[in-house]
Structure 1
Amino acid sequence: MTDRSEDVPLVSEADWRALVERQLHGAPFETLETLAEDGFRYGPIHARRGAEPILREGAGRPWSVVQRVDDPDLGRATRQADDDVKGGATGVAFCFAGSPAARGFGVPLDADALAPLILHDAGDRDVARIRLEPHADLAALATFAGRLTQLGRRGVDVGLDPVGPLAGVGPRPHDAADLAARFADAVRQAHEAGVVGRLVEADGRVFHDAGATPAQELAAVLAVAVQALRTLDGAGITVGEAADRLGLTVALDQRAFIGIAKLRALRLLWARLMELLAGPAAPARVHAETSFRMTTVHDAETGILRNTVAAFAAGVGGADSLTVLPHTIAAGLPEAKARRLARNLQLLLIEESGLHHLADPAAGAGGLEVLTDRLCEAAWAELQRIEAEGGILRSLGTGQLQTRIAAAAADREAKIAAGEEVIVGINRYRAPSEAPAPVLTIRGDTEQAATAVPGALTPRRLEARAGSAA
């Protein structure tokens, strides 16, 4: 092939800007900037940087492909776990009945009842990491983790979250002291039972699903982590010991650049938090899940594309593990095909696209670096606001954080309803007459039912609020 690079004229940024301004016909260059929902602006072009990569532990190795076990029927749940791990999953997440992650379904929080599932024909499942999704019954979760350890399962992440499950049912200011004591006892119980893995999970999904902006979700995750570290420090567990057993969970939606920047920002924010608390310099351990609020009942197949974008962002942004929600989950308990697609979507990105070989490809890219920086600034400002309100439990108890999240959700939903923000399958090119996707059990209308308790953070799916724009 002939090298014709010398024939290509060099164009400077000034040349590019001059050409763009002519095409704008007098409109200011700023009209090309994007106004993020967190209030900052970023433009169509930014200078390249010489930034260092933001790496996860095990960079260059595949992230953990985590599949949900959420079927109340234990026979089907057992078959699900077997199929998932034999089909390539490297992690299994138990979603317990009553957990926000269970979406109205879930397996019982009973280790003895689940022993057949845990031990039956384990085979390849022995190599899969187990994740216990956060649940309000902290003691039961710790007991379950201890029982798993007795049964010989190693590498269990317990998911003790001192805030998230409570936020979904409407916390009150006087809950804080009792919750702190129960949380510290549960962590101690799991530790003494010999559980190996993360004991604490700062989970941002309940905030995301309720409508939080990316910066609000990041701030909430950090505020939950601060609450956990503060509580455990009071119980005699040092910041260094606790931080080493703490995981962070966030949701990723259909916006690829926002998702990549969100994960990168979380790692930078965690490093800054550890610096201020004199904690370890170890990188954050981040689990990502595709967004529930972007799922649809009608025209559900468009969700496969949104999931693909979110999973791509997770891989490029450096998630340690990822759960892709089956695209039919808004309609009910997903059947085998939807679960297989969710699993294989990740496997395609790993085994055919080799996405895990890219160690922070966003490093140095001006636009993504600026987006990462501004998300960091906005999230840190929100974290300071939460702390000034007395910490996340106090902020939730007095309704201040919920008010800000509700305002952000209302603004987003108004733009979607007006067509100012386009999401294909939700407010553009939607098929309103199409039947819901097939599921094992149809979900009830829990959108608004979900708790009429004041202050509760409940899911706000975008499809349900898209109005007449579809």
Structure 2
Amino acid sequence: MTGNDEMSAAAWRARVDKVLKGADFDRALVSRTVEGVDILPLYSKAIGAARAVRAQPGRWTVTQRVDHPDAASANALAKADLEGGASALTLAFAGSAGARGFGVAADRLGDVLEGVAFDVVSLSLEHPPFAYEGAIDALSDLATRRGYDIGRLLIDCGVDPIGDMARTGTKPAGAPVGPALGEVLRQLRGRGFASPVFRADGRIHHEAGSSDAQELAGVLASALSYLRGLEASGFSLEEASGAISFLLVADADEFMTVAKFRALRRLWREVEAACGLGASPIQIAAETAWRMTTRRDPWVNLLRATTAAFSAAIGGADAITVLPFTAPLGLADAFARRMARNTQIVLSEESNLWRVADPAAGAGGFEALTNALVEQAWSLLQTIERAGGLPSMLESGAWQAAIAEKRKERAQLISRRKLPLTGTTEFPNLAEQPVEPLMPAPAVPGSAAEPDFPPLGSFRLAEPVERLRDRAEDFEKATQHPVAIFLATLGEPPAFTAREGFARGLFEAGGVRAVVAGEVINSPQALAAAFRASGAKSACLCSSDATYALPAGDATHVGDTLAEQAARTLKNTGCVFLALAGRPGDREAAYREAGVDAFIYAGLDVVAFLNDAHACMGLPIERD
């Protein structure tokens, strides 16, 4: 900063302190990300920060997944993607994690890629755990039969034995980074494959619930293990480094996603420097986050994916895959695939995002986030290295435990609605029309073999809330009776409107339909009549604290407030479960004596509360 900048910052802070009138600056204006990084209200321009640009300047590669189990259908969808603007295909083979129970068959690869020009389309492979030979052999034979020079094709082979270990909880027959690693590279280079062979994949960590720093550290640790194993197998560090590609997850958190992609390039430069290597471009692919997708109101997935793709592009991803918005429901149809690729095409061609290299460079906020992630990820990488590397940490269960802790923290934020999921925890729509995929998502069977250590699972953030909705809908279908709650609005609309809206959103997130009287309730008799007319067996009092505390008219219990009178009226009319919107304060005992069973308020554990509410309403539930 220059002297004038310091004076400007000091003058700004003085004015802010004056407005705050003694309030704590950090509490008022400094926020914190889920990752624990402080976000300041004002940053200075960053001077001299390292740039993070794509390996190849210009447009990023628009990638589409090929995962239809029928070869002819997969071919038709893939060609439609390429004709519609995609420039790369990811072949998700049956049994691979990314296929999600679907996937193409390696022995039908010729039919899947019929009419696809290998020399103008990039290909990326995703294999079943520890089983990459069949797909690579099939692709090699197919390319040779069609007269292609394999050395000139852009094929990311996607071999990731450490990722396979993490997904399955299984230790391979040989060490995942031992001599077999070098033999794989030696064979594929001998057959002409010139592109990256090994992939350091962040999806397994992210889907298990990792923080961004943990994802970065996991990716770096895998790549470093591959680098070390290949060097021990006789390859130079330069050859080994060129054999590794990277894949990170793009999330709906724009700022953290941009920082994460920028941080990886800086972190790998640190690894190269520590190994005595000169800086060289690395290939970083992006895929939009599986864990952020929702089955409820899946159209909102389009918005989340757009933010994620935008962030990956700004962060410098070389290739981007946007998951179709119906992915959590099952196999995507042509429309969902078109929306996925068009999301990128609009960002690239209409918004011109590709024209600026590292647009976040020099922005104080982005540089601060990038620096924070670099420091956190490097510290975690050192922890992994001290433990003997990622394979050792997986075998001990320590890495799984660390990620599980972060997953638990994030789940609590969602359950308390501090990390909103639009359409699921916020603004649920019980009248939404179903969206039908080509095929519904199958139940992916677990491994019959006992794992050697705990595998890293795959979770979506919305799952606990979606299960509540599913349970309520199943109960309604079985009983032909709606799961509903009557919102007993006390006083005039200005008093109850805010809490009525809050209660409606909270209960409907769990599939409980909110019913209101539609008129001002001005007596116990009117309240009882409105409750009976609603058809509900449960109710929630909604109004302001001041209205709750008003003395009851014609109280049968001396000293009753309006809220207590209303509670007694509803209980006497047959209400089996009664909630009150708002914190009870020092009236809790009186409210409970009058019949209130529970209280709802901002910061409540919504999932736990709705589980209890379902039980009180007679829904069969499963306890952990």
Q: TM-score, normalised by structure 2?
A: 0.69
Preserved CA contact (<8 Å) 1:171 1:396: no
In the TM superposition, what is the alpha-carbon distance from 1:445 to its structure 2 partner?
Answer: 4.6
Distance 1:170 1:65 in 2: 32
Q: Is the 8 A contact 1:94 1:132 kept in 2?
A: yes
Using the TM superposition, give the Cα deviation of residue 342 of structure 1 relative to its aligned residue in structure 2, in angstroms: 0.2
Aligned residues: 454
CA distance in 2, matches of 1:345, 1:99: 25
1:330 match: secondary structure? helix
Offset at residue 214 of structure 1 (A): 0.2
Q: CA–CA distance in 1 between the matches of 2:447 and 2:322?
A: 23
- Give the superposed CA RMSD: 2.3
1:425 to 404, 423, 426: 423
Per the alignment, do residues 107 and 46 of structure 1 end up closer, same or farther by CA in structure 2, a change over 3 Å counting?
A: same
Q: Which residue of structure 1 lines up, in the alignment, with residue 336 of structure 2?
A: 338
State the Cα distance separating 1:432 from its structure 2 match.
4.4
How far apart are the structure 2 equivalents of 1:280 and 1:144? Answer: 36
Q: Does the 8 A contact of 2:96 with 2:126 survive in 1?
A: yes
In 2, the alpha carbon distance for the partners of 1:284 and 1:294 equals 27
The residue type equivalent to 1:201 in the other structure is R
2:95/2:127 contact within 8 Å kept? no
Deviations 1:370-395 (A, max 9, x none): 00000000000111111111101110
Alpha-carbon separation, structure 1, partners of 2:446 and 2:16: 50
Following superposition, the deviation at residue 420 of structure 1 comes to 1.4
Match of 2:32 in 1: 35
1:225-274, Cα deviation, whole Å (9 max, x unpaired) = 01111111121112110111211001011000101000000000011101
1:121 equivalenced with 2:115 (yes/no):
yes
Deviation at 1:360, TM superposition (A): 0.7
- The aligned amino acid for 1:128 is V
1:423 Cα offset (Å) = 2.8
Partner residue of 1:317 out of 308, 315, 318 = 315
Distance 1:371 1:76, change over 3 A: same
For the residues of structure 2 that align with 1:41 and 1:450, how far apart are their CA atoms? 41
Describe how 1:354-433 pairs up with structure 2 within 5 A.
354-433=352-431
Deviation at 1:318, TM superposition (A): 0.5
| 1:305 alignment partner, one of 289, 303, 314 | 303
SS in structure 1 at match of 2:90: strand
- For residue 156 of structure 1, report the CA deviation from its aligned partner: 1.1
Aligned residue for 1:406, secondary structure, equals helix
Letter in 1 for 2:123: I
Corresponding position of 1:130: 123
Structure 1 equivalent of residue 503 of structure 2 = none
Q: Which one of 190, 193, 199 corresponds to residue 191 of structure 2?
A: 193
Amino acid across the alignment from 2:266 = L
Deviation at 1:349, TM superposition (A): 0.7
Distance 1:260 1:178, change over 3 A: closer
Instruction: Note the C-alpha offset of 1:435.
Output: 4.7
Residue in structure 2 matched with residue 80 of structure 1 by the alignment: 77
TM-score (norm 1): 0.91
1:62 aligns with 2:59: yes
Conservation of the 8 A alpha-carbon contact between 2:262 and 2:315: yes
Q: Which has the higher contact order (CA 8 A, sep 6+)?
A: 1
SS at match of 2:168: coil
CA drift at 1:157: 1.1
Give yes or no for the alignment of 1:252 onto 2:250. yes
The one-letter code matched in structure 2 to 1:16 is W
Q: 1:445 to 1:18 in 2, by over 3 A?
A: farther
Q: Which residue identity lines up with residue 194 of structure 1 in the other structure?
A: G
Q: What CA deviation, in whole Å up to 9, does each residue of 1:148-171 have, x standing for no partner?
A: 542426211111112112211113
Q: Name 1:143's counterpart in structure 2.
A: 137
1:18 aligns with 2:14: yes
Point out where structure 2 has 5 or more consecutive residues left out of the alignment: 1-6, 469-505, 510-624
Offset at residue 37 of structure 1 (A)? 3.4
Counterparts of 1:216 and 1:390 in 2: how far apart (Å)? Answer: 17
Distance 2:166 2:106 in 1: 20
Compared CA separation, residues 313 and 432, structure 1 to 2 (3 A): same
Contact kept, 8 Å, 1:415 with 1:421, in 2: the verdict is yes
- The worse-fitting range, judged by mean Cα deviation, of 97-106 and 175-184 is 175-184
- Give the greater-gyration-radius structure (CA): 2
Structure 2 match to 1:44: 41
Residues 396, 195 of structure 1: CA spacing in aligned structure 2 closer, same or farther, 3 A cutoff? same
1:81–1:126 Cα change, 3 Å: farther
SS in 2 for 1:351: helix
Contact 1:143 1:189 in 2 (8 A): no
User: What's the CA shift for 1:459?
Assistant: 1.0
Q: 1:5: which partner in 2?
A: none
Residue 449 and residue 415 in structure 1: after superposition, are their counterparts in 2 closer, same or farther (change >3 A)? farther
- Residue number among 226, 229, 240 corresponding to 2:227 in the alignment: 229
Match of 2:291 in 1: 293
User: 1:417–1:189: structure 2 CA closer, same or farther, 3 Å change rule?
Assistant: same
In 1, the alpha carbon distance for the partners of 2:157 and 2:73 equals: 23
1:44 Cα offset (Å): 1.8
Shift, 1:203, TM fit:
0.5
In structure 2, give the amino acid aligned to 1:464. Answer: E
CA contact (8 A) 1:297 1:436 kept: no
Question: How far does residue 58 in structure 1 lie from its aligned partner after superposition?
Answer: 2.4
CA distance in 2, matches of 1:388, 1:171: 22
User: SS at the partner of 2:74?
Assistant: helix
Aligned-partner SS, 1:421: coil
Residue 7 of structure 1 corresponds to which residue in structure 2? none
Residue in 1 aligned with 2:617? none
Decide whether the 8 Å contact of 2:50 with 2:266 is kept in 1.
Answer: no
Distance 1:144 1:13, change over 3 A: farther
Match of 1:281 in 2: 279
Read off the aligned partner of 1:129 and give its amino acid letter. Answer: S
2:182 to 154, 160, 184: 184
Farther off after superposition, 134-143 or 67-76: 134-143
